[in-house]
Amino acid sequence: MAYKIGNREQITMLPPTIEEYVGEQDPVRVYDAFVEALDLGELGIAVNENNVGNSAYEPGAMLKLLIYGYSYGWRSSRKLERALYHNVSFMWLTGGLRPDHKTISKFRKDNKEAIKKVLKQCVRLCIDLKIIEGNTLFIDGSKIRANASINNVWTEEKCKKALEKIDKRIEEILRESEEADENESGTLVEMPEELIDKEALKERVKGIVEKLGKEGRDQVNTTDEESIKVKGRQGTHSGYNAQIAVDEKHGLIVSSEVVNTNSDKEQFTKQVKAANEILGKKCETACADAGYANTENLKGAVEEEIEVIVPSQKQALHSPAEESPFDKEKFHYDEKKNQYICPEGKVLRYSHYGKKKGHYLYRIEGPSNCISCKHYGKCTNNKRGRAVIRLKSERVKEELEALYLSEKGQAIYKKRKEKVELPFGHIKRNLKVDAFLLRGLKGVNAEMSLLSTSFNISRMITLLGVTKLISALV
């Protein structure tokens, strides 16, 4: 059987320009048109007009390089530099410009705030193209590793142990120094050097303790001070909590923000408001999973007259079939008399307000009413009788729970998983983002904006096609 064999010395008539290497339907043309459609002035891209020496690279070309690279999982500045020499699409996109990895890295670091705004302009373009409506939003979060080792996380307890260990070693060094001096062993030069190192380390650890106390934090990572210790599917590591708001129509990302808190409970209203600001209007409905179930926080969106579809923790963990006949929901609240009536008709009167936990407590009128009840032992085992807690925003909580269980609520909630898990799935699996490259909140937010924009552009190409999308952008 004959084989086709290549010949590197074969003379060919190559196309005279890079332009001819890139087909009309090549997606790279969309990325070029997209950045050309952005308002770089509004973004605030840093340009030094008084630069002395070699001319700076055109900001638009640098931004194209980053967005296109991130869209294919090429985030490393060194990989991007290599691509400019070996990948025709990258050569075409930058017009043959070949900034080195240091220049690429510096541009990304110097323009964190500007890069963060790219997603906002992307969303506005999507609104103009009528592929984002902004009527129903889905909020979700995912933990992403920081560019910092978990071993560099310091707590007050870790600092205390380290200081004890250092002090012990300093004592040993001083004792060894005295013995060496007496024996004239000639090791005096090495020991003081180690002593200096230990003293310096001690001062550094003391500085960490001071920082923890000053900022009221329980932990700090000395490599990336704004990262936190997070628990994810990959175990415990230093990382961040990436939040996104996704539009119902085509699952496009409307807004993104990276925060350094483990819990999502304080994020819902904040993320909805951020998305609405970008949309330029108020969404009608906002939906999230039970991780956002915090009535006091959800109330902020409710007060904006937004339909909030978020199940309570109890609704998420238990089906209606698992409900007990003695659940709080089975007790009737009499608003006029400010009291509860149990399923057996007994009264639970207001007892007190707990300032620390922020709720009202109602207890059975006369413990004997519970002890003599046929349901004692099932309803409660407390000798003081049954008690019920009522939140400050109990009415809002009840309305939210009812809305979630409604036909409309269930229909919207079923779409949640499909809409919000696609973006994170694409970012983590397709783009292989297992950790951020940049450090600090400004850095990771800039990266998240690039990743969100990359996802949106890939969806835009799928929805509209290369030719139609370029025509709309130009």
Whether 193 shows a pLDDT value over 80: the answer reads: no
Q: What is the pLDDT of residue 109?
A: 93
Handedness of CA 329, 331, 336, 338 (dihedral sign): negative
Amino acid at 302: V
What value does the mean pLDDT take over residues 253-262?
94
- Confirm if 45 and 117 have CB atoms less than 8 A apart: no
Q: What is the pLDDT of residue 90?
A: 94
Q: What is the pLDDT of residue 7?
A: 64
Whether 80 shows a pLDDT value over 90: the answer reads: yes
Whether 171 shows a pLDDT value over 70: the answer reads: no
Q: What is the pLDDT of residue 152?
A: 72
Amino acid at 152: N
191 is written with which tokens? 């020991």
In 10 A of CB 324, how many CB atoms?
11
Q: What is the pLDDT of residue 18?
A: 82
Question: Which one has a higher pLDDT value, 380 or 180?
Answer: 380
- pLDDT-derived band at 189, boundaries 50, 70, 90: very low
- Confirm if 310 and 287 have CB atoms less than 8 A apart: yes
Whether 35 shows a pLDDT value over 90: the answer reads: yes
Whether 174 shows a pLDDT value over 90: the answer reads: no
- pLDDT-derived band at 281, boundaries 50, 70, 90: very high
Q: What is the pLDDT of residue 441?
A: 94
108-117, 158-167, 310-319, 353-362: least confident range: 158-167
In 10 A of CB 124, how many CB atoms?
17
Whether 184 shows a pLDDT value over 60: the answer reads: no
User: Does this model's pTM top 0.85?
Assistant: no
What value does the mean pLDDT take over residues 18-23?
86
In 3D space, the residue among 166, 188, 168 whose CA is nearest the CA of residue 177 turns out to be: 188
Whole-angstrom distance, CA of residue 416 vs CA of residue 290: 12
What value does the mean pLDDT take over residues 288-308?
93
Q: What is the pLDDT of residue 6?
A: 62
Question: Which one has a higher pLDDT value, 455 or 196?
Answer: 455
- pLDDT-derived band at 172, boundaries 50, 70, 90: low
Classify each residue of 137-175 as buried b or exposed e, where b means 16 or more C-beta atoms within 10 Å of its C-beta.
Answer: bbbbbbbbbbbbebeebbbeeebeebbeebeebbeebee
What value does the mean pLDDT take over residues 391-401?
88
Question: What's the gap between Cα 251 and its chain centre?
Answer: 17
> Measuring CA to CA, how many Å separate 194 from each of 173, 177, 239?
8, 11, 34
If DSSP states are collapsed to H, E and C, what string results for the chain? CCCCCCCCCCCCCCCCCHHHHCCCCCCHHHHHHHHHHCCHHHHCCCCCCCCCCCCCCCHHHHHHHHHHHHHCCCCCHHHHHHHHHHCHHHHHHCCCCCCCHHHHHHHHHHCHHHHHCHHHHHHHHHHHCCCCCCCEEEEEEEEEECCCCHHHEEEHHHHHHHHHHHHHHHHHHHHHHHHHHHHCCCCCCHHHHHHHHHHHHHHHHHHHHHHHHHHCCCEEECCCCCCEEEEECCEEEEEEEEEEEEECCCCCEEEEEEECCCCCCCCHHHHHHHHHHHHCCCCCEEECCHHHCCHHHHHHHHCCCCEEECCCHHHHHCCHHHCCCCCHHHCEEECCCCEEECCCCCEEEEEEEECCCCEEEEEECCCHHHHCCCCCCCCCCCCCCCEEEEECCHHHHHHHHHHHHCHHHHHHHHHHHHHHHHHHHHHHHHCCCCECCCCHHHHHHHHHHHHHHHHHHHHHHHHHCHHHHHHHHC
- pLDDT-derived band at 456, boundaries 50, 70, 90: very high
Q: What is the pLDDT of residue 207?
A: 66
pLDDT digit string, tens, across residues 435-444: 999 999 999 9
Question: Which one has a higher pLDDT value, 263 or 13?
Answer: 263
44-53, 98-107, 180-189: least confident range: 180-189
- On average, the pLDDT of the chain sits at 85
Q: What percent of the chain has pLDDT over 70?
A: 81
Whether 463 shows a pLDDT value over 50: the answer reads: yes
Q: What is the pLDDT of residue 365?
A: 85
What value does the mean pLDDT take over residues 309-327?
79
- pLDDT-derived band at 112, boundaries 50, 70, 90: very high
81-85, 198-202, 368-372, 441-445: least confident range: 198-202
Question: Which one has a higher pLDDT value, 466 or 214?
Answer: 466
Q: What is the pLDDT of residue 48?
A: 55
What's the chain's Rg over C-alpha atoms?
30
Whether 188 shows a pLDDT value over 50: the answer reads: no
